[in-house]
Amino acid sequence: MRNRQVKLKQYPEGMPRPGDFELVTAQAPVPAEGHVLCRTRYLSLDPYMRSQIAGRHISGTIAPGDLMRGESVGEVVTSENPGFEPGQLVRGFGGWQEYFALPGDALSPVSSQLSHPSWALSLLGMTGLTAWAGMVWQANVKPGDRVLIPAVTGGVGSAAAQFCTLHGAEVVGTAGSDEKCLFAKKELGAEACINRKSGGLATQLDDAFPEGIDVYFDLVGGELLTLASERLALNARVVLAGLMSEYNQAERAAGPPPGFWIRARAIVYGLVVYDFEARREEFIQACLPHIAAGRLSQREDVAEGIEATSEAFCRLMRGENFGKAIVAM
């Protein structure tokens, strides 16, 4: 059976381009004993992949010639494992390819209660778990908190905004266009949203947070981390989770002066989602009733087919995605 795959062709210089990747054709794997052969249905595209290519990610590196790695939802084709049967939907690190084979213990069934199976990669997947871990378990958001969330219509940001609203906090987002800001206010429960490209970011933050920021979920680093740190309320919580403004740069940017955090008596958390894997089911069970009641939803930015994967990843790294970046096969 033909298995089209996307491999890294060469290291990108700065912003990745589709030509940095190549589409190759291989044979679909034959599952060994205990393994399961799956056809990829949905593939998650994530900024950490850029860090893997740059050799800066804790989950390992990707070099030219390597298959691009990533999490996917697959449909079981044949199973050499008694725990799985053909037709079942599963989640696992299948990579950027049409078919993958993994041992049963590397796969998790996708909840049959989930009306959108791709949400196992977004709202109830890694990005959702990151948002829940950061806002609920670390920052412990509560009524009265005023929370700043960048990239608020993206994978982590859109989940975080909804989780904060569910917990009674007030959300101010930032996003890269007026259209995204409108969506954040209408669909994600944000009280306000700042178009980060409209200029005057510092003044707009002053207006949005006259009494300071209680919780800042940093997904981007760079200028916004410094501006937010300068405007923290007393006893603020800062969750450091991502460096979207820096992934395509060779040099790391300077951070905010620690004095901003000292003055606010802030608690600063570093967040690595893998640390919360053991609590994933607790998170999913907490969210399912809210999904069923229509209180939680997920906008996805969906590309179609394996041949669209490289360009969709480049769009994500250019910040052009509107919703969680997904490839539907």
Ligand X SMILES: NC(=O)c1ccc[n+]([C@@H]2O[C@H](COP(=O)([O-])OP(=O)(O)OC[C@H]3O[C@@H](n4cnc5c(N)ncnc54)[C@H](OP(=O)(O)O)[C@@H]3O)[C@@H](O)[C@H]2O)c1
Nearest CA-CA partner of 40 in 18, 73, 8: 73
State the minimum distance, in angstroms, from the CB of residue 269 to ligand X: 10
**How many residues belong to the site for ligand X (CB under 6 A)?**
34
* CA atoms within 13 A of residue 309's CA, in its CB half-sphere: 33
| C-beta of 36 vs 208, nearer to ligand X | 208
Site string for ligand X, 258-277 (x = CB under 6 A): -------------xxx----
Asked whether position 47 contacts ligand X by CB under 6 A, the answer is yes
DSSP label of 197: T
Q: What is the footprint of ligand X within residues 160-179 (CB under 6 A)? A: 174-176
DSSP label of 18: G
State how far the Cα of 201 lies from the Cα of 183, in Å rounded to an integer: 19
The C-alpha torsion from 266 through 270 and 275 to 277, rounded to 10°, is 80
Residue nearest to ligand X (CB): 154
The stretch among 25-33, 69-77, 96-104, 122-130 that binds ligand X (CB under 6 A) is 122-130
Is residue 84 classed as helix, strand or coil in its secondary structure? coil
Q: Retrieve residue 198's tokens.
A: 């409209």
Site string for ligand X, 297-316 (x = CB under 6 A): -------------------x
Is residue 68 classed as helix, strand or coil in its secondary structure? coil
Among 213, 219, 266, 291, binds ligand X (CB under 6 A): 219
| C-beta of 39 vs 279, nearer to ligand X | 279
Q: What is the footprint of ligand X within residues 72-111 (CB under 6 A)? A: none
Asked whether position 324 contacts ligand X by CB under 6 A, the answer is yes
DSSP label of 170: E
Exposed, middle or buried by CB within 10 Å (0-12, 13-18, 19+), for 328? Answer: middle
Among 12, 31, 95, 242, binds ligand X (CB under 6 A): 242
- CA 101 to chain CA centroid, Å, is 24
Q: Are strands 99-103 and 146-149 parallel, antiparallel or unpaired?
A: unpaired
Asked whether position 241 contacts ligand X by CB under 6 A, the answer is yes
Kindly list the residues in this chain that would bind ligand X in the complex (CB under 6 A): 46-48, 126-127, 130, 150-151, 153-157, 174-176, 180, 196, 219-220, 222, 241-245, 271-273, 316, 319, 321, 324-325
